[in-house]
């Protein structure tokens, strides 16, 4: 291997490591979520789920929440589009877990893993019965 080839490999290696570090840091940083207040929709802490009528994944996620006997407020796009706009919801299903102060503990897109869901519920002090 020539000296030039070795330098090129070294530069490529450094760039690859820098790219990987940047990717990992981006994944670890969560975007800030606006504080959501579920006015008139029950006591906090609470779970809000954004859905759409024709979303099969939404139905699967609802079944998961019901299997844990979790009370939640469902907001359907076709019935309450203004809430989607106000809360800047771009995709469904989206589960938003609020603590007793109304702050977002977690916002989970898609069908959540059991670990992530129970972790967020525990952080918000919401009791689950699996």
Instruction: Give the model confidence (pLDDT) of 63-100 as tens digits.
Output: 999 988 888 899 999 999 998 888 888 889 999 998 88
What parts of the chain have a pLDDT lower than 50?
A: 30-43
Query: Does 93 sit behind a cis peptide bond, omega within 30 degrees of 0 on the bond before it?
Result: yes
CB 74 within 8 A of CB 51: yes
Q: Examine the domain organization and report whether 50 and 26 are in the same domain.
A: no
Q: Examine the domain organization and report whether 88 and 26 are in the same domain.
A: no
- C-alpha distances (whole Å) from 61 to each of 58, 67, 79, 94 are 5, 10, 19, 9
- Domain assignment present for residue 36? The answer is no
Q: Which tokens sit at 23?
A: 């990717």
- What's residue 55's pLDDT? 92
Q: Examine the domain organization and report whether 64 and 111 are in the same domain.
A: yes
Q: Domain count of the chain? A: 2
Q: Cα 124 from chain centroid?
A: 14
Q: Give the mean pLDDT of the chain.
A: 82
Q: Examine the domain organization and report whether 63 and 99 are in the same domain.
A: yes
Q: Examine the domain organization and report whether 52 and 8 are in the same domain.
A: no
- What's residue 9's pLDDT? 86
């Amino acid at each position: 291997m020539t000296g030039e080839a070795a330098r090129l490999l070294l530069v490529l290696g450094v760039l690859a490591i820098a790219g990987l570090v940047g990717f990992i840091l981006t994944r670890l940083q969560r975007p800030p979520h606006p504080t959501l207040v579920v006015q008139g929709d029950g006591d906090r802490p609470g779970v809000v789920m954004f859905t759409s009528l024709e979303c099969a994944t939404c139905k699967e996620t609802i079944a998961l929440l019901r299997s844990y006997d979790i009370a939640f407020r469902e907001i359907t796009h076709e019935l309450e589009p203004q809430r989607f706009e106000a809360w800047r919801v771009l995709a469904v299903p989206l589960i938003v877990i609020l603590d007793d102060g109304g702050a977002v503990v977690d916002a989970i897109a898609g069908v959540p893993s059991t670990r992530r869901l129970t972790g967020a519920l525990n952080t918000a002090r919401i009791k689950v019965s699996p």
